[in-house]
Amino acid sequence: MKRWLSLLMALCLLLTGCAVGGRTYVPHGGGLAREEGDTSPTSEPTLGGEEQSFSLVYYSDRSLNPLTCTDYTNRTLFSLIYQGLFSVDRSYAAQPVLCREYTVSQDMMAYTFYLNDATFSDGTPVTAQDVAACLTFAKSGQGSVYQGRFFHMVSAVAQGAAVVVTMDTAYEDLPILLDVPIVKAGEINAQQPLGTGPYLLNRTTGGMRLRRTPNWWCQATLPVTASSIPLVQAESNSQIRDQFQFSDVGLVCADPGTDTYADFRSDYELWDCESGIFLYMACNNESEFFQEYKLQSAITFAIDRDTLVEDNYRGFARSATLPASPQSPYYSEGLASRYGYDAEKFSQAVASAGAVGETVRLLVNADDSLRLRVAKAIAEMLTAGGLVVQIVECGSANFLTRLAERNYELYLSQTKLSPNMDLSAFFYVTGTLSYGAMDDLATYSLCLEALANRGNYYNLHQKIMNEGRLIPILFRSYAIYATRGLMTGLTPARDNVFFYTLRNLPGQPNPSEPTGEPTDGTAAGTDGSAPSVTGSIREPQPLGLPRRGPRQDRKAHLVFPKKTERDPQGPAHNVFRNASSRSRPSASWESPQQ
């Protein structure tokens, strides 16, 4: 049916000259509905219990190790094969998976995780040694894609049946960093290590496939019901697109933020899936221009972010005027509104500073042709405000060198922020993202306060934007295409296309029942699901770490109260209320600076 529909659509496009109303045809599939920034599929549910039949794609010449693989096509498979201590949903809320419960020391620098009775796909039990080995490799192993997020981790050590993670500072949102896939300690460097997920990789005479894990250790309502999923070898983005449109490939992950992206024109449903990739500009604070005219904080008003998203990213990005994902609980819409696009305000600032007609150099990595186009669009916006912009192009090989040389006023770059949106690497004196004299002790101290208590992200972001050290632009998303009606309940999350939560397991507390643990005064969910730990941050919070009593351990059952505005001076009520942090730099799991 998919093939006939695709051929029919192709014929219609030929007859109409591939245009609609005089404009280039833009495929939408009817499955992407945006309302107040949310994306929801429009499919009708498939019949309950009906087994799906479809294929997925993968690159056979690229890594299938979840700890080192950087290819998003192959990583699409991993959420069916592997599990972490936690999974993280679209709202950046941690959901327990391999972790049954945990305790946290009073100073929030030591977490002890107790494991569910989980098994790998071959039936062998998951041990604390496996978890400790994976977290240790994630922090410092060669080729690990998770190194940046664990800069503050001192150690992960097995103690009996538990894993103790020690940090060099107090840490509030550690669980959302612990979606790292767990494999056997002896298979960390294997090309295809075993996992604990609902499917396992299976090589057959007919090729690679995913096969249902027999006697899977847990229960969950999955968006995938197939007992076996053939894997089709990928060669290029256009070949993947063709396999989806003209064969039985049922779901693909694509990146509209690259020039190799291929448009889809078959009948499909479409979801967006945040990638964590952050596009931003920054100033060379030591340049003569900014030393004289002090226009750093005005640059944000010149950038029409929504136009950049629509013109260059096909809508698969979110405008951001603060250096945090708008989907995350660290982003304040109220604060963000103060720094949005205002061309008149920027023009007035340039005129008031006497900088009309002055030249600024914008450094960009020209090997990324899409980013070069974005740089040219930004240059036009700055020019419209009264400046003269000279774009300085260089390649990937010497981009970091050119950044260090500081022969520019502005630069355009991107990185992948950790899930807790840690900005320490920008402002720490030797931070991996600190260029153009961006390091600043006071701002770095605010990074620590924000890690200590998420309410303090408001203060941090306000200082950054008022000083103009960093000019956020957008956060990119992947596009998830699926055959219409194939996937029921698909809710793609960051690095987790087939996101799911576990049903209650024996020995776990029911989130809908009281456990005797203090809460923020909000009731747990009554539908059997864990309440969200996320919430909007709307008001500034006082600075400073809470005073603490003697160090002691508190058992924290996995009952997640709703997030509210934090009072850093309040008592230590639960795992999430009193986290405090004095971190050092956290870089991305992709190249730190591109």
Amino acid letter at 195? G
3-state secondary structure of 341: coil
Would you state the pLDDT for residue 2?
A: 55
The secondary element (H helix, E strand) that includes residue 209 is strand 207-212
Q: Give the fold, CATH level 3, of 276-477.
A: Dipeptide-binding Protein; domain 3 (3.10.105)
Distance CA(55)–CA(209), nearest Å, equals: 8
The secondary element (H helix, E strand) that includes residue 371 is helix 369-384
Decide: residue 582, CB within 10 A, 0-12 exposed, 13-18 middle, 19+ buried.
buried
Domain ranges of the chain: 2-272+478-483, 276-477
Alpha helices in 250-353 (DSSP H): 288-293, 305-312, 333-336, 343-353
Distance CA(313)–CA(341), nearest Å, equals: 18
Decide: residue 527, CB within 10 A, 0-12 exposed, 13-18 middle, 19+ buried.
exposed
For 494, phi then psi, to 5°, come to -55, 125
The answer to whether residues 50 and 225 touch, using CB atoms and an 8 Å cutoff, is yes
The answer to whether residues 497 and 253 touch, using CB atoms and an 8 Å cutoff, is yes
User: How would you write the pLDDT of the chain (594 residues) with one tens digit per residue?
Assistant: 555 555 555 444 444 444 433 333 233 333 332 323 333 333 333 333 578 999 999 999 999 999 999 999 999 999 999 999 999 999 999 999 999 999 999 888 999 999 999 999 999 999 999 999 999 999 999 999 998 899 889 999 999 999 999 998 888 989 999 999 999 999 999 999 999 999 999 988 889 999 999 999 999 989 999 999 999 999 999 999 999 999 999 999 999 998 888 888 888 999 999 999 999 999 998 999 999 999 999 999 999 999 999 999 988 999 999 999 999 999 999 999 999 999 999 999 999 999 999 999 999 999 999 999 999 999 999 999 999 999 999 999 899 999 999 999 999 999 999 999 999 999 988 888 999 889 999 999 999 889 889 999 999 999 999 999 899 999 999 999 999 999 888 999 999 999 999 986 655 544 333 333 333 333 333 333 332 233 233 233 332 333 333 333 333 433 333 333 333 333 232 332 233 333 334 333 434 455
Strand order of the β-sheet with 199-204 is 56-58, 228-233, 207-212, 199-204
Q: What six digits make up the tokens of 222?
A: 């999955």
The answer to whether residues 327 and 176 touch, using CB atoms and an 8 Å cutoff, is no
Asked if 2-272+478-483 and 276-477 have one fold, the answer is no
Q: What six digits make up the tokens of 271?
A: 């979801």
Amino acid letter at 12? C
Q: Which pTM was predicted?
A: 0.78
Decide: residue 394, CB within 10 A, 0-12 exposed, 13-18 middle, 19+ buried.
middle
The secondary structure of residue 339, as a DSSP letter, is: G
HEC per residue, 120-184: CCCCCECCHHHHHHHHHHHHHCCCCCCHHHHCCEEEEEEECCEEEEEECCCCCCHHHHCCCCCCC
Q: Give the fold, CATH level 3, of 2-272+478-483.
A: D-Maltodextrin-Binding Protein; domain 2 (3.40.190)
